[in-house]
């Protein structure tokens, strides 16, 4: 029988001011594999 591992994730959000305005960054990390599984910026 194969053991199924639960997936947990952590979300990180950041905003910083630049000379052109505000920059927003969001990322999603899989805590089991410690890999970034998604990100977006605006």
Mean pLDDT by 10 residues, the chain (42 residues): 68 93 94 90 88
- β partners of residue 17: 22
Would residue 3 count as lying in a domain?
no
Total domains in the chain come to 1
pLDDT in the model for residue 2? 53
Would residue 4 count as lying in a domain?
no
Would residue 35 count as lying in a domain?
yes
pLDDT in the model for residue 1? 47
Domain that holds residue 34: 9-41
pLDDT in the model for residue 36? 92
Would residue 2 count as lying in a domain?
no
Would residue 31 count as lying in a domain?
yes
Would residue 16 count as lying in a domain?
yes
Q: Are 17 and 27 in contact (CB under 8 A)?
A: no
Would residue 32 count as lying in a domain?
yes
């Amino acid at each position: 029988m194969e053991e199924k591992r639960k997936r947990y994730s952590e979300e990180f959000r950041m905003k910083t001011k630049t000379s052109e305005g505000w920059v927003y960054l969001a990322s999603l990390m899989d805590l089991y594999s410690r890999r970034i599984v998604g990100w977006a910026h605006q």
